[in-house]
Structure 1
């Protein structure tokens, strides 16, 4: 399984994708490039809106803010999960929260040590490697400013409990 979609405790939808850190995802230090995290988050975002049958979201939802907090390194060959969930739905904006977690695996360090062992001897397997938010605004084709989200969009995101 390459993805999943569920709803969080507030009823907002979320989606998770599973990837492997590829060589192209790494930088000169041997761990993930900062842009790889955003690509995985965008892949989870795309999966979320495909699962919700809201593909009309993409051409009308430019990013207005991205906040990324990096906590751990991810290495070539390591499996990662990226989860995106709707955090807040405003009149014209939408904020998604995300987290990217690393699983055990990947290429060991040059000195032969396991890169997944922390300084205190514990493992970072399953640890949050990055988290943050992405905020988009609804700007329909031809508009020059944000407009309210269409009613069908709001109903799908809020789910059956909002009806």
Structure 2
């Protein structure tokens, strides 16, 4: 995510809860993926395309864990669109905790029609919303 881009982005706030910790007492690695997916849902809803759910499977998920988060730590997840391809979309995210950035990562999804089983181009009306060239109707 860069400040120069007009592509959609969201920030969500969560707290590290008991089920999100591992035996060592800090965040379980999987909670970062769940938070990224929660932020993705918020982002898609913000541009009026929550209906993409089920048609954009993940093909890449990467996370770099930089700091530990502990039980009840508040976190802020910044999530945005980094690149839009013909049939794919790359998101990037940061998870910030009390001590600074705790995780960064990216997630790549591919647009499918839900039936044919392969990648299909983004619909003409959606692509400008994904790139930030257009704003969703209010």
Task: Give the equivalent residue in structure 1 for 2:15.
Answer: 20
Residues 41 and 84, structure 1, Cα contact 8 Å, conserved in 2: yes
> How is 1:128-143 mapped onto 2 (pairs within 5 angstroms)?
128-143=101-116
Cα distance in 2 for partners of 1:71, 1:84 equals: 17
3-state secondary structure, aligned to 2:126: helix
Residues 18 and 79, structure 1, Cα contact 8 Å, conserved in 2: yes
Cα distance in 2 for partners of 1:62, 1:53 equals: 19
Please give the TM-score of this superposition, normalised by the length of structure 2: 0.92
Cα distance in 1 for partners of 2:131, 2:83 equals: 10
Instruction: Report how many aligned residue pairs link the two structures.
Output: 134
3-state secondary structure, aligned to 1:12: coil
Q: Structure 1: any 5+ residue segments left out of the alignment?
A: 1-6, 104-123
1:8 is displaced (CA, Å) by 4.3
Cα distance in 1 for partners of 2:96, 2:45 equals: 22
Cα distance in 2 for partners of 1:138, 1:161 equals: 19
Cα distance in 2 for partners of 1:10, 1:28 equals: 40
Residues 8 and 14, structure 1, Cα contact 8 Å, conserved in 2: no
Cα distance in 2 for partners of 1:159, 1:78 equals: 33
Cα distance in 2 for partners of 1:13, 1:52 equals: 8
Please give the TM-score of this superposition, normalised by the length of structure 1: 0.78
Among candidates 67, 75, 81, match of residue 76 of structure 2 = 81
Among candidates 120, 124, 131, match of residue 151 of structure 1 = 124
Q: Greater relative contact order (Cα 8 A, min sep 6): structure 1 or 2?
A: 2
Question: Cα distance 1:9–1:161, how it changes in 2: closer, same or farther (>3 A)?
Answer: farther
Task: Give the equivalent residue in structure 2 for 1:66.
Answer: 61
Q: Structure 2: any 5+ residue segments left out of the alignment?
A: none
Q: Which protein has the larger Cα radius of gyration, Structure 1 or Structure 2?
A: 1
1:157 is displaced (CA, Å) by 1.6
Structure 1 residue ranges (4+ consecutive) displaced by more than 3 angstroms after TM superposition? none
Among candidates 37, 40, 53, match of residue 42 of structure 1 = 37
Cα distance in 2 for partners of 1:141, 1:77 equals: 39
